[in-house]
Chain A
Amino acid sequence: AQRVTQPEKLLSVFKGAPVELKCNYSYSGSPELFWYVQYSRQRLQLLLRHISRESIKGFTADLNKGETSFHLKKPFAQEEDSAMYYCALRSNFGNEKLTFGTGTRLTIIP
């Protein structure tokens, strides 16, 4: 069975400080990992995926298979980063469904 764990429900960070949102997963194969974000009054949307290895809005995430983690990082937090963040895992065979974590609400303190 696949599982995604986001240990922090709430995270508050001062503007300009580094941000790290934790995500751990359990999966027996080679997963695809994603971060989705939901800003206030907006739809859930894809932020980034590990296979593209890009930086979106200053955020990066590296898949660490040894530690089964996919932590989201940003060196300098901005107020517009305040949102709900969900880590998600997708199996690479079968129906390829997404399994989401419980989410972390990030608040950037001005």
Chain B
Amino acid sequence: EAGVAQSPRYKIIEKRQSVAFWCNPISGHATLYWYQQILGQGPKLLIQFQNNGVVDDSQLPKDRFSAERLKGVDSTLKIQPAKLEDSAVYLCASSYSFGDNEQFFGPGTRLTVL
């Protein structure tokens, strides 16, 4: 089966600019996750969707980050405006259902904020 797709793979922006990331989960996977992985750290969950509803966004910096999954399939994560500390790899993952143990990860988008 095709894996989780993400684009772009790399992005370099200046601080205060905006950026958006796109994720296409595995077909049929109802649950979608966005993680932030800062260099030297493990992935940190930003937001979790079940179909098109938000299950958990407690660690999403809502003053600058937003995410949507309007039709319950693809998702976009936006940062506006970006800060230097947002430099990280942004990982998208999906799982078949809420409560399913295994999450399948995409290749990630490496964001550099100058």
* B45 x A102 contact (CB < 8 A): no
User: What interface size band does chain B fall in?
Assistant: 20 to 34
Q: When chains A and B are docked, how far (Å) is the Cα of A102 from the Cα of B108?
A: 17
User: What interface size band does chain A fall in?
Assistant: 20 to 34
- Chain A 1-38 near chain B by CB (<8 Å), digits 1 or 0: 00010000100000000000000000000001010000
* A49 x B101 contact (CB < 8 A): yes
* A102 x B41 contact (CB < 8 A): yes
> Which among B43, B99, B101 is the interface contact of A44 at CB below 8 angstroms?
B43
How distant is A23 from chain B, measured CB to nearest CB, in Å? 11
Does B8 belong to the interface (CB within 8 Å)? no
Q: When chains A and B are docked, how far (Å) is the Cα of A44 from the Cα of B93?
A: 10
* B101 x A34 contact (CB < 8 A): yes
- Given the complex, which residues of B lie within 8 Å of A46, measured CB to CB? 102-103
Give me the interface of A with B, judged by CB distance under 8 Å.
4, 9, 32, 34, 43-46, 49, 51, 86, 88, 90, 95-103
